[in-house]
Amino acid sequence: MNPITYLRPGSVDEATRLRADFEEAKYLSGGHTLLPSMKQGLARPSHLIDLTAIPGLRGIAVEAGDAALTIGAATRHVEVASSADVLRVVPALAGLAGSIGDRQVRNRGTIGGSVANNDPSADYPAGLLGLGATVVTNQREIPADEYFVGLFDTALEPGEVIVRVRLPVPLAAGYAKFRSAASRYSVVGVFVVRTPQGVRVAVTGAGEGGVFRATALEAALSANFSAEALAGLSIDSGALLRDMNATPEYRANLIMVMARHAVNNMGRVSMYK
């Protein structure tokens, strides 16, 4: 591993100035995607700019009237999982956070780091896309439907910093995941959300391009919100991942199975391995 300079700015402005000064610098939050990439030689930053000590990037708040939930980018998974506010207004999101990795991962990883890296097996992208969230950066607000671009790819511009995410409070939500026994990453995860406008279904762990919405499932559940409404539907395996954990065909079947579990367990998280 090449020599690396560690930097710990005290503000978002300082962080962006440092990023502009050092072309090969990378932002660091939880580090659960970046650090393994560095160990494998896939990423070779000259500087690591740690965002976790910046005031204002951490914390959870519910807007007046329970309209939306706001979570600071440096908020750790364990804080989301144990938050009384999250458990009250979006319990499935608390369950999602509590299902990530193991205790060590949950005590270090952050929602902003997960969303910024857009790992294809990460859980938070499914939660944000399913809930129709907004990613708020130091420059703009990006709807989740526009934010997740592709595999490890987002709409973030170079140097742009996620400040917080804003998640509309749904009528109900549920999450079901089939995870790798070794890594605890999602082989397939399905986040189902009921809103006044209809149903949103987001799938993680399965797509070649990362997280995606299952629109056929959304249409069926919007017309009849029940697991039975999914009978006879199927997912095209053509754009799904093939790896050591599963074939595209197996993942296509798992999506339907996890979707039914999510519908039957709204307000909770169901985990399988």
Q: Is the pLDDT of residue 1 over 70?
A: no
Of 186, 177, 48, 52, the C-alpha closest to 119 is 186
Instruction: Write phi, then psi, for 59 (nearest 5 degrees).
Output: 135, 160
pLDDT by residue (tens digit) across 185-215? Answer: 899 999 999 999 999 999 999 999 999 999 9
User: Collapsing DSSP states into helix, strand and coil, what is residue 47?
Assistant: strand
- Contact between 29 and 52 under an 8 Å Cβ cutoff? The reply is yes
Distance CA 251, CA 107 (A): 30
85-123 residues labelled b (16+ CB within 10 A) or e (exposed): bbbebbbbbbbbbbbbbeeebbebbbbbbbbbbbbbbbb
Distance CA 106, CA 29 (A): 13
pLDDT by residue (tens digit) across 103-145? Answer: 889 999 999 999 999 999 999 999 999 999 999 999 999 999 9
User: Collapsing DSSP states into helix, strand and coil, what is residue 230?
Assistant: helix
Tokens of 169: 């409070």
Residues of CATH 3.30.390.50 domain(s) within the chain?
172-272
Query: Model pTM greater than 0.85?
Result: yes
Mean pLDDT of 87-110: 94
**Per-residue pLDDT, 2:** 72
**Which CATH code, of 3.40.50.720, 3.40.250.10, 3.30.390.50, 3.40.50.620, is assigned to 172-272?**
3.30.390.50
User: E-assigned strands of 56-106?
Assistant: 60-62, 68-72
Tokens of 155: 């709409």
**Which CATH code, of 3.60.21.10, 3.60.20.10, 3.30.43.10, 3.40.50.2300, is assigned to 1-52?**
3.30.43.10
State how far the alpha carbon of 55 is from the alpha carbons of 47, 52, 73, 74, 166, in Å.
21, 8, 11, 9, 18
pLDDT band at 102 (very low <50, low <70, confident <90, very high): confident
- Give the sign of the dihedral formed by CA 200, CA 183, CA 233, CA 211: positive
Beta bridge partners of 190: 176, 203
- Contact between 105 and 137 under an 8 Å Cβ cutoff? The reply is no
Residues of CATH 3.30.43.10 domain(s) within the chain?
1-52
